[in-house]
Structure 1
Amino acid sequence: MSKRNYLRPGLLSLALLSTLSLASLMANAAAAEVKSGSKLQSLSEMSETVSHRKLDIQTWKTSEGAKVLFVEAHELPMFDLRLTFAAGSSQDGDAQGLAMLTNAMLNEGVPGKDVSQIAAGFEDLGAEFSNGSYRDMALAGLRSLSAKKEREPALALFNQVIGQPTFPKDSFIRIKNQALAGFEYQKQNPGSLAGIELFKKLYGQHPYAHPSDGTEKSIPGITIEQLKAFHKKAYAAGNTVIALVGDLSRSEAEAITAKVSAALPKGPALATIAEPQTPPASNNHIEFPSKQTHLMLAELGIDRADPDYAALYMGNQIFGGGGFGTRLMEEVREKRGLTYGVYSAFTAMQVRGPFMINLQTRAELSEGTLKLVKDLLRQYLKDGPTEKELDNAKRELAGSFPLSTASNSAIVGQLGAIGFYNLPLDYLETFMQKIQALTVEQVKTAMAKHLDPDAMVIVTAGPTVEQKPLPPPTDNPVEQPLGVPEH
């Protein structure tokens, strides 16, 4: 069974809690997720009951240069394997969408098997294949029972998929058409249009500027020969992190990862992309016929190695990343009824990712709402969080933290991120220690250092209408938020 996952992974799950809204904006509208079969569904449900434990991460390199991170987990008779390649859209070059198409075509054909036979092969073994492509990275994963009679044929098929894709022409045409249909959908979605324009304005000529899925102009011109060349270069063993978690011994893990590594093309890690240049502040509007206006505000944030990461994570959780109870939700939704939801996020990447605030509101209140959000950020940077806010955020994070290692799939995601971003093996433990030791002044200083309300790139998408003044704040706003956000 195969499952293509288009949500943005790679950031540690702790950071993902504050970036889900951004991920949904950037998701490929044409992607269809194939649900996993009953054999693995029951194991998946069981795996969610595994409690948090300190991870004993073992690491080594294969002879081909792939970095391996492995955790033994004998609670369930299964294992999760994830390969993380530095093969995201930031490596597209002039062929925007090349990384996405290459990853999407992995399981469409191998020597002697077409896409249906590949899917049936995993299904018959009670196994699940998954893949996805994003700005920094591309993924390929396998979940399987760990007994040798299921494990070995599942791994053999997986190794064919990642190492010997044939890129059949009929599948290539179909996936291109799916991508083009997604672009047509984007034209009807103001949130998608705003997100695409925001990255263009924020990153200019940098590789992060273009959508991970390419564009309607770039996709038709990409050839199968380009996919083969990209696979040979970007899916090389030296450009790969192999994460493995499950009911396996060290010797079994070494044997598995050696075969996986040997199945990949031979080659070194690709060079890290250049740092982006700070863009000028700008205010950009997309005219769109709707009752609401999408507001997106952003500036360059941090890369994943920034020493201020913990302080910025906590500062953002209090300001707008933690759902209900944040400054933004309290002032914009709860007191004024201006929006269904408002969120902020630092997306830390290989190089400086965005800090973003996004929401939607009634079109006639959009200018006032935009000013309110900027004023709230300005005040927060000036004053910082209160002691009570910081204490509450620490308690909430301590309560949710066990979820980060509550299942094999969660752990394998953590390992992939630790390996990909070259984080220390004890990262999870030290991260929580850093969080609990933070002071109000440290959070305030970090937020003020990295953010400036007057330096933001702003994109709005909605109709041009006469503006009305904002309602005054109250504990019982007269007008309640409109329905579920359009994005």
Structure 2
Amino acid sequence: QILAGLAVVQSDPERIAGKVWSRAAFPDHPYGRPAEGTESGVAAVTTDDLRGFVERRLGRDHLIISVAGDITADELAPLLDSTFGSLPEHAAPFHLPKAQVAGGGVIVIAEDIPQSTVRFGENGIKRDDPDYFAARLLNYTLGGGGFNSRLTEEVREKRGLAYSVYSYLQTMARGGLVSGGVGTDNTRVAESLDLIRGEWRRMAENGVSADELRDSKTYLTGAFPLRLTSTGRIADMLTTLQYLDLGIDYLDRREELIHSVTLDDTRRVAGRLLHADDLLVVVVGKPEGVTATRTAPQLDN
């Protein structure tokens, strides 16, 4: 089933762009390898490999469990013991080095298609960074807020260059990214990238306006309860709190953390995070007026 899925997506321009971007950004790091694996790697996995993984890597000391629903702690305890009690007490640790994007530049993957798919990004911020919420708020204005974002306004609304253009923060255990994407006609790729870099620079130099900061705070606080509308979503949130070590009181503190961010904070963090000249850009298609400055990395099959 996994192999069938890999075969389907290997010709998808968005997946190609994402895989090339990750490998170019992290050539010698596990983050540069696709989480779903490769065809040769998946085909080579044996039942002994799976048993060995369970024996080495699954242990009660690394186990995170979250439960939400009509059940008491006394009722739950024996169920957890019967399900997970046979796991080893300790698991072998994962040693994951710090991840840094290996430089900017432009990579072009030539494909005979009418529209190019573009991925771009640079080093970002980790989830435990004190500037995390300032970064979230400024990204909402930059490209994370849909029709409320500057990228959508400039690229889609004013010029009609793309149906979708966006940016987002990606936080990882050993690093972080400010990333984004756009899909546009091959003849408009260069113009779209110029606009994106321009908005990157404008945000880095000036931050957000008072109205933009207010609107982003309203969204981040107002939309959050929608993530807790079912027992499944509540359990997911409890897992996140444990995995990121945010503390059991995080939900009580979150709104205050957001509202405490000032305009000066967003300007400072924008200058810290956004560097248009450092963007690593991958284009899949036949873009006109775009010159590659880096060689595409070799992907594993």
With the length of structure 1 as denominator, give the TM-score of the two structures: 0.57
State the partner residue of 2:212.
389
Conservation of the 8 A alpha-carbon contact between 2:117 and 2:284? yes
Conservation of the 8 A alpha-carbon contact between 2:205 and 2:270? no
After TM superposition, the structure 1 stretch with the greater mean CA deviation from structure 2, 419-428 or 253-262, is 253-262
Unaligned runs of 5+ in 1: 1-177, 468-487
State the partner residue of 1:430.
253
Provide the rounded CA distance (Å) in 1 between the counterparts of 2:2 and 2:84. 30
Name which one, 1 or 2, has greater alpha-carbon Rg: 1
Conservation of the 8 A alpha-carbon contact between 1:202 and 1:298? no
**Cα distance, 1:185 vs. partner?**
2.3
Secondary structure at 2:20 match in 1: helix
Provide the rounded CA distance (Å) in 2 between the counterparts of 1:439 and 1:277. 28
**Cα distance, 1:304 vs. partner?**
2.1
Provide the rounded CA distance (Å) in 2 between the counterparts of 1:219 and 1:269. 22
**Cα distance, 1:272 vs. partner?**
4.7
Secondary structure at 1:218 match in 2: helix
Tell me which of 327, 336, 339 is aligned to 2:162: 339
CA displacement 1:14-41 (0-9 Å, x = unmatched): xxxxxxxxxxxxxxxxxxxxxxxxxxxx
Provide the rounded CA distance (Å) in 1 between the counterparts of 2:175 and 2:228. 27
2:284 is the alignment partner of 1:461: yes
Conservation of the 8 A alpha-carbon contact between 2:144 and 2:168? yes
CA displacement 1:316-366 (0-9 Å, x = unmatched): 111111211111111111111111111111111211132211010110110
Provide the rounded CA distance (Å) in 2 between the counterparts of 1:464 and 1:323. 25
Secondary structure at 1:211 match in 2: coil
CA displacement 1:61-100 (0-9 Å, x = unmatched): xxxxxxxxxxxxxxxxxxxxxxxxxxxxxxxxxxxxxxxx
Secondary structure at 2:71 match in 1: coil
State the partner residue of 2:142.
319
Tell me which of 165, 173, 179 is aligned to 1:350: 173
Conservation of the 8 A alpha-carbon contact between 1:310 and 1:431? no
Provide the rounded CA distance (Å) in 1 between the counterparts of 2:215 and 2:99. 35
Provide the rounded CA distance (Å) in 2 between the counterparts of 1:451 and 1:466. 24
Tell me which of 289, 302, 314 is aligned to 2:112: 289
Provide the rounded CA distance (Å) in 1 between the counterparts of 2:108 and 2:67. 46
2:270 is the alignment partner of 1:270: no
Conservation of the 8 A alpha-carbon contact between 2:227 and 2:233? yes
Conservation of the 8 A alpha-carbon contact between 2:116 and 2:287? no
Provide the rounded CA distance (Å) in 2 between the counterparts of 1:362 and 1:323. 20
CA displacement 1:199-257 (0-9 Å, x = unmatched): 00111111111001111232222222111111222222222101111112232233333
2:32 is the alignment partner of 1:209: yes
Tell me the number of residue pairs that the alignment of Structure 1 and Structure 2 aligns.
290
Instruction: Give 2:177's aligned amino acid.
Output: P
State the partner residue of 1:374.
197
Secondary structure at 1:347 match in 2: strand
Unaligned runs of 5+ in 2: 291-301
Provide the rounded CA distance (Å) in 1 between the counterparts of 2:228 and 2:4. 37
Secondary structure at 1:246 match in 2: coil
RMSD: 1.7
**Cα distance, 1:408 vs. partner?**
1.0
**Cα distance, 1:452 vs. partner?**
1.3
Conservation of the 8 A alpha-carbon contact between 1:319 and 1:326? yes
**Cα distance, 1:264 vs. partner?**
2.8
Provide the rounded CA distance (Å) in 1 between the counterparts of 2:251 and 2:27. 34
Secondary structure at 2:83 match in 1: helix
State the partner residue of 1:51.
none
**CA 441–351 in structure 1, closer or farther in 2 if over 3 Å, else same:** same
2:183 is the alignment partner of 1:360: yes
Identical aligned residues as a percent: 29
Secondary structure at 2:172 match in 1: coil
Provide the rounded CA distance (Å) in 2 between the counterparts of 1:309 and 1:187. 34
Instruction: Give 1:253's aligned amino acid.
Output: L
Tell me which of 437, 440, 448 is aligned to 2:263: 440
Provide the rounded CA distance (Å) in 2 between the counterparts of 1:446 and 1:419. 27
State the partner residue of 1:405.
228
Provide the rounded CA distance (Å) in 2 between the counterparts of 1:304 and 1:451. 17
State the partner residue of 1:169.
none
Task: From the two aligned structures, give the one with the greater helix fraction.
Answer: 2
Secondary structure at 1:231 match in 2: helix
**Cα distance, 1:261 vs. partner?**
3.0
**Cα distance, 1:276 vs. partner?**
1.3
State the partner residue of 2:299.
none
**Cα distance, 1:269 vs. partner?**
6.0
Secondary structure at 1:212 match in 2: coil
State the partner residue of 2:296.
none
State the partner residue of 1:224.
47
State the partner residue of 1:76.
none
Instruction: Specify which structure has the bigger relative contact order, considering alpha-carbon pairs within 8 angstroms and separated by 6 or more residues.
Output: 2
Secondary structure at 1:345 match in 2: strand
State the partner residue of 2:298.
none
After TM superposition, the structure 1 stretch with the greater mean CA deviation from structure 2, 262-271 or 322-331, is 262-271
Secondary structure at 1:244 match in 2: coil
Conservation of the 8 A alpha-carbon contact between 1:324 and 1:330? yes
Provide the rounded CA distance (Å) in 2 between the counterparts of 1:460 and 1:384. 28
